[in-house]
Structure 1
Amino acid sequence: MPFILSLYDPYKGQGNLSGLIPLAVGLVILLWCVRDFYVSGKGTLAPWDPPKHLVTVGLYRYVRNPMYVGVLFILLGWTISTASPLIFGFTLFLFIAFYLRVKTHEEPWAEKMFGTEWEKYKNNVPRWLPQTKGYYPTNRR
Structure 2
Amino acid sequence: MTATQLVAPVKGHSRRRAIAYWTATVLLVTESLVGGTYDLFRLDPFFAMLAPLGYPAYLATILGSAKILAGLTLSLPRLPRLKEWAYAGILINMLGAAASQIAVGNGPGDYVPPLVFAVIALTSWAYRPGSRRLSAPTVQPTGGAAMGRSAAAITSAAWFVVTGGVGAVLVPWWLTGWQVLRPLAWWSTAEAVGVVLILAGLVVAAGVFIAFVRAGGTPLPGAMTEHLVVTGFNRYVRNPIYLAAMTVFIGEALLLGQLSLVIYAIAVWVGAAAFVRWYEEPALAARFGADYEAYRRAVPAWHPRLHPWTPSDPEHPEVGNGDAGASSAG
Q: Same fold (TM over 0.5)?
A: yes
- What does residue 115 of structure 1 align with? 289
- The separation in 2 between residues aligned to 1:47 and 1:119, in whole angstroms, is 18
Alignment correspondent of 2:173: 3
- Give the aligned residue type for 1:5: L
Determine which structure has greater relative contact order: mean sequence separation of CA pairs < 8 Å that are 6+ residues apart, divided by chain length. 1
Aligned mate of 2:198, from 23, 28, 42: 23
Matching residue's letter, 1:38: V
Match of 2:149 in 1: none
1:25–1:8: structure 2 CA closer, same or farther, 3 Å change rule? closer
Runs of 4+, deviation exceeding 4 Å: none
Amino acid at match of 1:140: H
Match of 1:50 in 2: 224
Q: TM-score, normalised by structure 1?
A: 0.90
Aligned match of 2:267 = 93
Whole-Å separation in 1 of the counterparts to 2:214 and 2:241: 15
Which of 61, 68, 71 is the equivalent residue of 2:242? 68
The TM-score normalised by the length of structure 2 is 0.40
Gaps of 5+ in 1: none
Cα deviation for residue 8 of structure 1 reads: 7.7
- Deviation of 1:35 after TM superposition, in Å, equals 0.7
Q: Give the aligned residue type for 2:208.
A: C
Distance in 2, matches of 1:48 and 1:120, equals 23
* 1:33 aligned to which of 197, 204, 208: 208
Q: Within 5 A, what are the aligned runs for 1:74-89?
A: 74-89=248-263
Counterpart of 2:181? Answer: 13
Name the structure 1 match of 2:316.
Answer: 140
Question: Matched residues in 1 for 2:259 and 2:211: separation?
Answer: 33
Q: Which amino acid aligns with 1:13?
A: L
Deviations, residues 95-134 of structure 1 (Å, cap 9, x unaligned)? 1011001001110111001000001100100001001121
Q: Distance in 1 between matches of 2:277 and 2:226?
A: 20
The gaps in structure 2 that reach 5 residues or longer are: 1-170, 318-330
Q: What's 1:125 paired with?
A: 299
The answer to whether the Cα contact below 8 Å between 2:178 and 2:256 also exists between their aligned partners in 1 is: no
| Whole-angstrom CA distance in 2 between matches of 1:131 and 1:45 | 22
Letter in 1 for 2:230: T
Distance 1:98 1:104 in 2: 10
The root-mean-square deviation of aligned C-alpha atoms, in Å, is: 1.7
